[in-house]
Amino acid sequence: MAKGLTIKPVFVDELVAVVPNTPQWSERNSVTIDALMNERLILREDGSELQLILDQALKPLNMRFADLKPRTTISNNNAIKSAVEAGYGVTICLRLIVKKELRHGNLLAIPIENLDNRVEYSLVYRDADLTGIAKRFVRFITAPGELELC
């Protein structure tokens, strides 16, 4: 870490399998990567942030994003969610992305077995460069409690 930089955790999210809310999926407590690869897998495009996150999470399994071989790639999260909700396939994404759909019961989030699913977001800044308002923002965004971003 470069001298003078401060790292403050902001929030933690998790990678989950996102599936349609159907009887086929509603009774499952978890799913394997292999089982997901046997479904019509819809993922974000190559080069996306999700690809980078999945590459890190899949390392302990000796896999990479490219090994998932999605049947469809889409560059828009809303389009992916709509496709999964309509039953065209399943996806892997961050829980925060589908928070509203989970709350409404349109989609289900299922833990993925043996996957390091924890994704931490931190604020990185140089103390000397912070203005008064930037300092207040740092205090606000790092305050204890649930940060509601969506």
pLDDT at 129: 84
pLDDT at 146: 56
Question: What are the tens digits of pLDDT across the range 66-77?
Answer: 888 878 999 999
Q: How far, in Å, CA of 103 to CA of 50, rounded?
A: 22
- As a whole number of Å, the CA-based R_g of the chain is 18
Q: Around Cβ 50, how many Cβ atoms within 10 Å?
A: 21
Higher pLDDT, 10 or 84: 84
For residue 112, list its beta bridge partners. 31
Average pLDDT over the chain, rounded to an integer: 90
User: Does the structure show a pLDDT above 60 at 149?
Assistant: no
User: Does the structure show a pLDDT above 90 at 126?
Assistant: no
Q: Which superfamily, per CATH, for 8-120? A: Periplasmic binding protein-like II (3.40.190.10)
* pTM for the predicted model, two decimal places: 0.83
What are φ and ψ of residue 88, in 5° steps? Answer: -80, -10
Please, which pLDDT band fits residue 150 given cuts at 50, 70 and 90? Answer: very low
Q: How far, in Å, CA of 55 to CA of 74, rounded?
A: 18
What residues contact residue 61 under an 8 Å CB cut-off, 6+ apart? 33, 114, 115
Q: How far, in Å, CA of 13 to CA of 30, rounded?
A: 17
Q: Where exactly are the structural domains of the chain?
A: 8-120
Which residue in 88, 81, 103, 96 sits closest to 18, CA to CA? 81
Helix/strand/coil (H, E, C) string of 70-112? CCEEECCHHHHHHHHHCCCCEEEEEHHHHHHHHHHCCEEEECE
